[in-house]
Structure 1
């Protein structure tokens, strides 16, 4: 089995101080895609550029302490693509793609961090611009390669994907426009929400993010914001999913899926 994990770290240095490397060593993912690294190259060099024997590849944001993605892998990629060609969003460190190509196969593992719009209308409009760029990029990529995109998408797609869906219909992350974008991505572009393929009806057990406000974690008032989005052939290889909640490294929980896949 090929074990693939996605985790929003909410700061790589913070997550490291909470034991994430020991957890990686114990659970042994072949690759772990991380988001919201909140660091620059000098911050990780020689310290956090490898975790539990897995080499890290990064796309750092230009702004210090902001955004940034990475992917730690046991397997050496044939190529690493940083950024997705966006004039606006590549400066924010939102895409790193590891390619594992060999004759007859083109395969990518992607760590991607979608913007949040919760801080205000300016960022919500930026999020809409990001979505408008991302869908055609993924559609184009799907015509050329098999891939699994792991990431914090910052969208709860369906009512069962968050606890208080009725009261959140006007809030970023559950806006009708965002949910419609996700529906279109899955139906028109043809990508597969792998967790929902394996667990089509779960509710309370599916959450991957909890607000730090109030007693959200204690009461499991959560959202499912973290995804594996795969091309259909790779999605068919998914066998088992796990959302790990026994320890907290971040305000997100890691989501791991085992695929019957060999690199």
Structure 2
């Protein structure tokens, strides 16, 4: 089983850069997209409908052309969920889950706080509210893959400029402590499990030459429940070709 997580920063934009051509060559079973930035009706062109996949979208209801998540699946899921029960979060189109027997695959887009205090405060609200849900999922007995852009780095190995970003959203001490606590509770960072000493990134600022110089952040994850951690086989971050300001992150699991 191969699962890919990709923040498209606009699925129409990524498609115009060749994303679906790249995708067709990857033998991916499940694709989790964040930031579709489109209404479902705007994604009906054949280029957005790769053969052999079913598509499921959760659009942002609060603002057009904003946020939005999706799942592309080779096998039909038993159930698709797209709300978690808190309207301010649900209306921004940040969660969709496909269930296959005992397996849940989630496309999740946690907020960024980089635009100012209001959004940073909302980010902290989301973190506090969603953590008990993660605990419930972990205790449920289901196998979970939490794919997505979490907008938080974990450790110094996950960001190029560690010291200079200590006061910036995504690298704040309280954000990193929250993520560390989550991982200490039993969830597993698939990349770090497979690459204990890795220093790869999944997002680069579009300012300056950050990508060319590999001045990046690792903020896109597949965080898995313990039984799935035992099935991790390999992973890859596709920094090239440039399809978005994020790179697709693919993980292989032993069946």
Pick the TM interval, shorter chain.
over 0.9
Q: 2:242 aligns with which of 248, 251, 254?
A: 248
What's the secondary structure of 1:61's corresponding residue? Answer: coil
What's the secondary structure of 2:133's corresponding residue? Answer: helix
**Deviation of the 1:49 alpha carbon:** 5.4
Which residue is 1:18 aligned to?
A: 17
Q: 1:212 aligns with which of 206, 209, 229?
A: 206
Matched, 1:110 2:109: no
Distance 1:84 1:15 in 2: 28
Distance 2:8 2:33 in 1: 6
Contact 1:194 / 1:228 at 8 angstroms: preserved in 2?
yes
Which residue is 2:132 aligned to?
A: 136
Contact 2:20 / 2:48 at 8 angstroms: preserved in 1?
no
Distance 1:12 1:53 in 2: 19
Which residue is 1:64 aligned to?
A: 64
Contact 1:22 / 1:52 at 8 angstroms: preserved in 2?
no
Which residue is 1:147 aligned to?
A: 144
**Deviation of the 1:236 alpha carbon:** 1.1
What's the secondary structure of 1:66's corresponding residue? Answer: coil
Counterparts of 1:76-115 in structure 2 under 5 Å?
Answer: 76-101=76-101, 106-115=102-111
What's the secondary structure of 2:221's corresponding residue? Answer: strand
Contact 2:110 / 2:150 at 8 angstroms: preserved in 1?
yes
Structure 1 residues 23-79: Cα deviation after superposition (integer angstroms, max 9, x where no partner) = 111011001101000001211135465234322111110110100000111010000
Give the TM-score normalised by structure 2.
0.97
> For structure 1, which runs of at least 5 residues remain unmatched after alignment?
none
Distance 1:158 1:257 in 2: 20
Distance 1:98 1:223 in 2: 28
Give the TM-score normalised by structure 1.
0.94
RMSD value over aligned CA atoms?
Answer: 1.1
> For structure 2, which runs of at least 5 residues remain unmatched after alignment?
none
Contact 2:237 / 2:250 at 8 angstroms: preserved in 1?
yes
What's the secondary structure of 2:87's corresponding residue? Answer: coil
Matched, 1:177 2:171: no
Structure 1 residues 232-257: Cα deviation after superposition (integer angstroms, max 9, x where no partner) = 10111010011112201100001111
